[in-house]
Structure 1
C-alpha cells in the first residue's frame, strides 16, 4: 500500500511539474516573443530544452524543500499529495485568467497548509520559510526591477535603441538573454519538484533525511517541466509580453539579463525564489527605465493581489485536501477526483477563451468571441464583434460590457473609434 501511494504521489508531483512548466514558460520568453526576437513556437522549444538542462545543474533548492521548509519526520505521502493538490488547483486557476502568479509559492503554500493539518505549527520550520521564501519574494523583484530600470535607462542614454540597427542588435541579444533566463529557471523551478519527490521518499522511508535527489528523480522532474514549457502557457505569456508594458528590444534584453542574474544567485544560495516575481519585477523596471513608456499599473496591481493570495489560497486547498486524505482510501480517491474535476472545468472554460501561438501577441486580455468564428465571419460580414474578457463574464449583469463608456482591451474608447462606418 505504501509503495502504491508513493507512486501515485510521484505521478501527481510530475503533473504539478508540468503545470509549473506551462505556467512559467512566459518568464523566459514573453518579452522575446513580444519583440519578435523569437517566434512563438521556437521560443518554447528553446526554453523547454534549457529548462531540462538547468534542472540537472544543481540540487540546492531541492534540498531546501526536502529538508528545510517542513519537518520531514512528520510528513507522510498523503500530506505531500494534499500539498500538491493545492498547488495544481491554484496554477490552473491563475493560468486560466492569465495571471503570472508563482508556481513555487503555490507549492509552498499547499505543502504548508497540508502539514499544518497533519502536524500542527511544529511541523513547519517558520524561520526557513521567512528567510528563504518570504524575504526573497519581497526583495528579489525590487532588486531585479531596479537593475532592469537602470540598465534600460543607460541603454537609451548611450545609444539610440529605436534606430533600426540598434534595435536589431538588441533583438539578437535577446535570444541569448532569454535563453539564459530559461536555463536559470530550470536551476530554480526545475528543482522544486525534485525536492517534493525526495520529501515523499523520505517520508515513506525509502530515502534518508538530508540526502540529495536520486538521478531518476532529477531526470523525471527535468523532463516534466520541459514538456510543460513546450506546451506554451500562452495566456500568461500574453500578459507578461503585452500587459505590463509595451516591450522594445532594449527593454527585453535588459529585463532578461537582470532576471538571469537574480535567479542564478538565488539558486546558488538555495532560496526558494519565485522566477515569476523576478521576471515581472524586471519587466516593470524596464518600463520605468524607458522614458515615455506606458506602464499598465492596473495589470501590475492585479498581479500583486494574486501574489499575496497565492500562499494562503494554495494553503487552504492543501489543508482541505490533507484533511480528506487523512480519512483513508476514500479520502485519497476524493482528492484525486477533485484534481481531475478542477482540471476538466478549467480546460472547458479555456476552450471558450483560446490563446495560442497564433494570437499570443494580440491584446493582453483573454477574450471570448460572441460573434461567429473567424472563418464564418469572413463569409458573412457582421457588425463590430462584441467581446468580453473573462473578468467581465464574472461581473454582475449591470456591470457587463455594452454600455457607452466601455473601453476596448487596448485602452481605446469605442465611442471615439466608432465615429465612422462602424457606428
Structure 2
C-alpha cells in the first residue's frame, strides 16, 4: 500500500519537473526572443517565480482532486495510468518542440484511466465539458486581450519616439515576464498537488469536506513547487524557440503586451479554479499581438500545427491512459 503511494507521489513530482522544462517557454520565450534577457538569466528568474507561484492558492488543486471524477472510482492504478500518459505525451511533444498543454494531458489521462476502470458514468461530465471548452476559450481570450492591449499601448505611445518606447518596454517586459512566470507556477504546479491529494485521500491520509477547498499539506506544496522550479531551471530551449520566434517576431513592446495579456487570463482562471493551459493562453496572446502588427507576419502554418496538437492532447492522453490501465490492471488485482 505505502510503496504504491510513494510511487504516485514520485510520478506526480516527475510530471511537475517535466512541466517545468516543457513549459518554461510560457514565461520567458518572448523576453528571450526580444533580447531583454539572456536565456540563462530568464530561466533562473522563471524558476524562482514558479516556486513562489506554486505555493499560493488551492482552487485548481481542488478541481483536480474532486472535480474530474467520483473519488470512489479513483483507485491507485487509475492515478498511475493517468500520470504515465501525461509523462509520455509531454516528453513526446517536448522532443518535437510542440508547446502542448501539460494541464490538459493530465486531464485527459485521468479521464481515460477512470473510464477504463469504471466507465463514463464515473466522470463529472459537466466539469470536463468546462475544461474542454477552455481549450478554445483560453487562447481566444489570450488573442483578444493581447490584441486589445497592444492597440491601447500603441495609442498611448503614439507621440513617443520608437527608441524611447523600446527603452521603456525593455524594462517593463521584466515585470510582465515575472507575472507570467508566477502565474505559470500558480496554475500548473497545482495539478500535481491535486493528484497527490487524490492519492492521500485514497489511502486515508487526508479527508476533504464536501463543498470545501482541498487543504494541501505544506510538504506537498513544497515538493511540487521545488520540482517545477528545478524543471524550469533545466531549460526547455526547444519550445522557447517555437514560442519566441517561429510564430511571430516580437519587439519588447509586443512581448510586454503578450505576457501581460496571458498573465491577466491566468490570474482570472486560477481564481475560479479552472485548470486552463498556460501554453494556450500565451500562444493565443502572441498571435493576437502579432495579428495587430500585420496578419501576414504571423506564421499561421506553425500556429495551425500547434492548434492541432492542442486538439489532440486530451483524446491522445485519454487513449494512452486507457490502454495503460488495461495493461497494468492485472498487477493490481486485489
Query: TM over 0.5: same fold?
Result: yes
Partner of 2:139: 141
Asked if 1 retains the 8 angstrom alpha-carbon contact of 2:33 and 2:245, the reply is yes
Structure 2: state its 5+ residue gaps: none
Asked if 1 retains the 8 angstrom alpha-carbon contact of 2:30 and 2:243, the reply is yes
The question of 1:183 aligning with 2:179 is answered no
> Matched residues in 1 for 2:270 and 2:242: separation?
26
> Matched residues in 1 for 2:150 and 2:17: separation?
33
Distance 1:152 1:293, change over 3 A: farther
TM-score, normalisation: structure 2: 0.95
Matched length: 328
Alignment of 1:334-413 (within 5 A): none
Partner of 1:253: 256
| 1:377-409 residue CA offsets vs partner (Å, 9 max, x unmatched) | xxxxxxxxxxxxxxxxxxxxxxxxxxxxxxxxx
Aligned mate of 1:262, from 260, 265, 274: 265
Deviation at 1:266, TM superposition (A): 0.3
Partner of 1:155: 153
Alignment of 1:286-325 (within 5 A): 286-291=289-294, 294-325=297-328
Distance 1:61 1:292, change over 3 A: closer
Which contiguous aligned blocks of 4+ residues in structure 1 show a shift greater than 3 angstroms? none
Aligned alpha-carbon RMSD (Å): 1.5
Asked if 1 retains the 8 angstrom alpha-carbon contact of 2:60 and 2:187, the reply is yes
Partner of 2:100: 101
Distance 1:292 1:114, change over 3 A: closer
Structure 1: state its 5+ residue gaps: 332-423
| 1:293-312 residue CA offsets vs partner (Å, 9 max, x unmatched) | 60000000000100010001
Q: Using CA pairs below 8 Å that are at least 6 residues apart, which structure has the higher relative contact order? A: 2
Partner of 1:30: 29
Q: Secondary structure at the match of 1:207?
A: coil
Q: Secondary structure at the match of 2:23?
A: helix
> Matched residues in 2 for 1:201 and 1:231: separation?
29
Deviation at 1:21, TM superposition (A): 0.8
User: Normalized per residue, which structure has more helix?
Assistant: 2
Partner of 1:168: 167
Asked if 1 retains the 8 angstrom alpha-carbon contact of 2:189 and 2:225, the reply is yes
> Matched residues in 1 for 2:204 and 2:318: separation?
25
Partner of 1:64: 63
Partner of 1:285: 288
**Rg larger for:** 1
Deviation at 1:155, TM superposition (A): 2.7
> Matched residues in 2 for 1:311 and 1:212: separation?
28
Deviation at 1:202, TM superposition (A): 1.1
Deviation at 1:186, TM superposition (A): 1.1
Deviation at 1:290, TM superposition (A): 1.7
> Matched residues in 2 for 1:172 and 1:187: separation?
24
Partner of 1:419: none
Asked if 2 retains the 8 angstrom alpha-carbon contact of 1:153 and 1:290, the reply is no
Deviation at 1:152, TM superposition (A): 1.4
Q: Secondary structure at the match of 2:250?
A: coil
Alignment of 1:9-20 (within 5 A): 9-20=8-19
| 1:300-352 residue CA offsets vs partner (Å, 9 max, x unmatched) | 000010001000111111111111221116x9xxxxxxxxxxxxxxxxxxxxx
Asked if 2 retains the 8 angstrom alpha-carbon contact of 1:87 and 1:103, the reply is yes
Deviation at 1:153, TM superposition (A): 2.2
Asked if 2 retains the 8 angstrom alpha-carbon contact of 1:98 and 1:236, the reply is yes
